[in-house]
Structure 1
Amino acid sequence: MPSDRLQRFRDRLALPLIAAPMFLVSGVELMVAACRNGVIGSFPTANCRGAEQLDEWLTEIEARLRRHEDQAGRRAAPLCPNLIVHRSNARLEQDLAVLLRHKPEIVITSVGSPAPVLKPLHDAGALVLADVASIRHAERAAEAGADGLILLTAGAGGQTGWLNPFAFVRAVRAFYDGIIVLAGGISDGRALRAAEVLGCDLAYMGTKFIATRESMADERHKQMLVESSADDILLTTAFTGLQTSMLRPSIAAAGLDPDNLPARGAINITADIDVAARDSRPKRWRDIWSGGHSTSGVTDVLAVEDLVAQTIAEYREAGGR
């Protein structure tokens, strides 16, 4: 059964789906397109250069969605900023202040406990979804009062989880009756319907939204996803110090050997490639790209409208409402 906390949004969603927040990928155009088409749009506040640009982004997105609602005669899906709550985020207070002024309906917290930001966000009327990668972290976020848990599972793109999604969802559902969002491996509407049967209220779709016309991703990144499969995804700690799913071809293109990377510890990209390649100064995320196991489901670069329509058809064929 869907969590009661989501009932207020049900008639605004074409699918029980969130366009995952992706660093250097999720921007204004992707958010507007996702929300217009009935998918919750999420983006990392870190994609903005600072609090001033974050305010500009939110103002523009909100205005464009209001115009769409006036023209279409129906409300768009919610917008959902993603806030890094780890103490290393020097912008946390400034970004939080911007969000509180704009009063988003949903906020995702990442890389730490949501506890420090829960009260102000709740007071502003936001549901707070906390992403977690272990049972213990799920328990702690639930105890803190998170409205929902985003379960980062094996197969998610970028910084990922390691638990099997079947085991993780069922273990968390045994003690938690709030919103559960599955993150990792959702490549089509059939997989989305399976997530619901498993006990989830929503799911992330990330990799397929990278390969959309509206995403901010480099066009080479989009094409690489089309040409790659799940076999081309490498799980490594070499670039961030955390388990991260990266595209092997992008690692090789940067002058590195995907099969001979350090076991742990962020690579100094410009120091670890040969001298002749240093002028190009490749950087992780900008030149070394992420992708999830659902890369096998990326067959073309689509407009968001077409991706959502295709996913709706698949979802309904699988028995979704």
Structure 2
Amino acid sequence: MIPEKRSIAIMKELSIENTKQMLMINGSDVKNPLLLFLHGGPGTPQIGYVRHYQKDLEQHFTVVHWDQRGSGLSYSKRIPHHSMTISHFIKDTIQVTQWLLDHFSKTKVYLAGHSWGSLLALQVLQQRPDLFYAYFGISQVVNPNYEESASYQYIRKISDAKRAGIVFPLIRFLGAPPWKKDIQHFIYRFCVEMSRGGFTHHHRQSFAVLFQMLTGKEYGIRNMHSFLNGLHFSKKHLTDELYRFNAFRSVPSIKVPCFFISGRHDLIVPAEISKQYYHELVAPEKRWFQFEKSAHTPHIEEPSLFADTLSRHALYHL
């Protein structure tokens, strides 16, 4: 007797407040628990490349990626500018979660948030902890102002010690944050990348991600304009609110088990800030993991370790 096909690999368009929002859902067995992944940014979705890095993860979870309002495949010129707020994104996340629960006949999902997505996740968990088994915070954003200051001080210290290369004159020219001009943020991010603490620790992995986006069937060259338009649109409308976020004040406790994953080399969200938050956070259970070979994207840089870490600690649905 041939067993019923239980794997899943679909793209699904949802309509939320008259905006199209695209999901990608993949897994080896639909009976596995759901894992909803909130991408970084604002405005940098993962659908275009992430399947290449989640083969192991799909053995344990039905993995759901979502291009958030105004991002990637969910970008449209018709999206009202006034809807590009964190409170709207929280509502969207809850609606996506409730659709998943209904569609798959589940009672709860696991939640993962990366960078900007981790900021969003903390606030979703504040409002609706009942929807989630546990939370995995990847490169957890706590306070962007603190994080930029810590990163700047580290880069300045290292570049002063070496007094060579392009970073040394640039970081001295830039000066300490806060920075108001786009060019200042561009210089800072360039210094982060040159210091190997940016998107990936090894630059070849960043090029591999770009290659996956350009050649993969999910995005390809034809959808890169949506990605770039969505990135610009999202940053324009959400950056100010992002910099006002302070989890120490606004999210002192979470009612579900929390697991935090940080890349050792991450200079976008330095571990010293998120680890301080981890120590102060009140939660029924919490754990901290450091991935030694990663910068800002440990789920991409060390995908097998990431899948193993999540599967070993996602036991709340059993």
Q: TM-score range by the shorter chain?
A: 0.3 to 0.5
Could you tell me the TM-score, scaled by structure 1's length?
A: 0.34
**Structure having greater relative contact order (Cα 8 Å, sep ≥ 6):** 2
Could you tell me the TM-score, scaled by structure 2's length?
A: 0.35
